[in-house]
Amino acid sequence: MVCPTDAEELDEFREEFSGTTFWCGVLLGGCGGQLLTRRGNVRVSHFAHFPDPDGLLPECGRRSRDVASADHLYVRTATQAWLRGQGRTPRYRYIDRDDAPVGSLVEIELDGHTLLLHMDPATPPDWDVTEAGDIILGPGVAIDHRTLARRGYADGRLRGPTFRQADTTS
């Protein structure tokens, strides 16, 4: 479940799920503690841990991570809405490997075709794996020029000198 980041959407979310409890996901490095929704008027709305009776927050491996650590969940929400709007039903799998933390690789199976999203810049894509399907690079995941040339893709970032039309008004 993804917490809406917009304050008004969070109000609707709270109403829709008023009888539901939320828990910190242990598969994503969390503590398993109960969560509440925190409405953001300055920052984005988000899940937060319930404090204990003394007002202290539980120790949690997710606490030190920023909003980007949940990118894999936001990608799922966005792609799911987009693909369902086209009448397609994607299936998602979060790949868990020793060399890639959960959420680093998100596999989308779509009509017998596989898309592999690389969400973590520290987990480089393996371009030679044939069963990976199409590889999509998430924010900050770099690709070297040799791989671009070898695979026949174009990199849309502007590099090198730029040229302007000469000023002829003088």
- For residue range 21-48, what is the model confidence (pLDDT) as tens digits? 988 877 556 788 888 998 887 777 888 8
Spatial separation of the C-alpha atoms in residues 32 and 59, rounded to whole Å = 10
Q: Would you state the pLDDT for residue 74?
A: 64
Structure tokens at 133: 């399907």
Spatial separation of the C-alpha atoms in residues 58 and 117, rounded to whole Å = 32
DSSP strand pairing (113-118 vs 134-137): parallel
Spatial separation of the C-alpha atoms in residues 99 and 26, rounded to whole Å = 18
Which residues are 38's β-sheet partners? 46
Q: Would you state the pLDDT for residue 11?
A: 92
DSSP three-state, residue 48: strand
Neighbours of 93 (CB within 10 A): 12
Spatial separation of the C-alpha atoms in residues 137 and 125, rounded to whole Å = 8
Which residues are 105's β-sheet partners? 118
Longest dimension (CA), the chain: 76
165: DSSP letter: P
Q: Would you state the pLDDT for residue 64?
A: 47
Quick one: CA dihedral 63, 53, 50, 29, positive or negative?
Answer: positive
**pTM score, two decimals?**
0.51
Which portions of the chain are predicted below pLDDT 50?
A: 64, 66-67, 156-170
Q: Would you state the pLDDT for residue 166?
A: 46
Q: Would you state the pLDDT for residue 132?
A: 59
DSSP three-state, residue 90: coil
